[in-house]
Amino acid sequence: MGRAIAGELAAEGAVIVVADYKRQEEGEELVAEIVARGGKAASIDGNVADVARCAEIVAFAVERFGGLDILVNNAGHGVRQPLAEISEADYNFQLDLHLKGPFFLMQAAAPHMRERGAGRIVNISSELAYIGCRDLSHYSAAKAGLVGLTKALALELAPDITVNAVCPGPTATDKFKSGPEYKEEIREGLPLKRWGTPRDVARSVLFLVSSDGDAFTGQTLDPNSGAVMH
């Protein structure tokens, strides 16, 4: 999903910094692809669960390219565990990755955006922020918290900086295709009878960071094929 987002933004002229953790080689491959297409990009090893690293990621982007206009918090990793088996470390991992990391990245990014007089922040949450999921209670809680954080910081950082969220539904990533929900009967149960695609998410992000999204802050866009309606 992050690859699709970065590619879509780069195609529109954005300069990209990829912060990846444990998959630095994939980040470097993505940077090479963007540069080969005439874009500008760089990568950095980025464990967003580390508060100090969040500040370093932002500093790297500013020093390398002279400023920061857009922040997309896309780090995510859901691990299926029943309630009785979730340890404190398991719980903290989900909160650190999906809530603490985005919080401190936004904290580090906001001053640089204010210096430039504008900024766009998009947090990638999930439909599970609304509906929850069996054996993903810690993940669902973290993603719901990210939506709440989005709304609070949209108020705090206005009018110069917009803060929005994208809450995808079932999305046909490689990981999803290998999971238990990737079944024909589930797809057929969706009102639009289609899986979401990474491009659906990427185009939602592009809308929110473009001039078309000028009137949006504190909102969620939900590319979910009708899985959740509200």
pLDDT digits (tens, 9 = 90+) for 166-185: 999 888 777 766 676 667 77
pLDDT at 104: 98
pLDDT at 25: 83
Nearest partner of 2 among 166, 193, 192, judged by Cα: 166
pLDDT at 72: 99
pLDDT at 182: 63
pLDDT at 216: 99
pLDDT at 115: 96
Long-range contacts of 73-77 (CB under 8 A, 24+ apart): 73/48, 73/101, 73/102, 73/105, 73/106, 73/121, 73/122, 73/123, 73/124, 73/146, 74/1, 74/2, 74/5, 74/124, 75/19, 75/21, 75/46, 75/48, 75/101, 75/102, 76/1, 76/124, 76/126
pLDDT digits (tens, 9 = 90+) for 127-155: 999 999 999 999 999 999 999 999 999 99
Q: Where are the domains of the chain?
A: 69-221
Is residue 191 scored above 70 in pLDDT?
Answer: yes
pLDDT digits (tens, 9 = 90+) for 62-102: 999 999 999 999 998 989 999 999 999 999 999 999 999 99
Is residue 194 scored above 90 in pLDDT?
Answer: no
The residues assigned a catalytic role are 139
Q: What is the CATH number of domain 69-221?
A: 3.40.50.720
* Contacting residues for 120 by C-beta, under 8 A, at least 6 apart: 69, 70, 71, 161, 162, 208, 209, 213
pLDDT digits (tens, 9 = 90+) for 17-71: 999 876 778 889 999 999 999 999 999 998 999 999 999 999 999 999 999 999 9
pLDDT at 230: 81
pLDDT at 130: 95
pLDDT level of residue 1 (50, 70, 90 thresholds):
confident
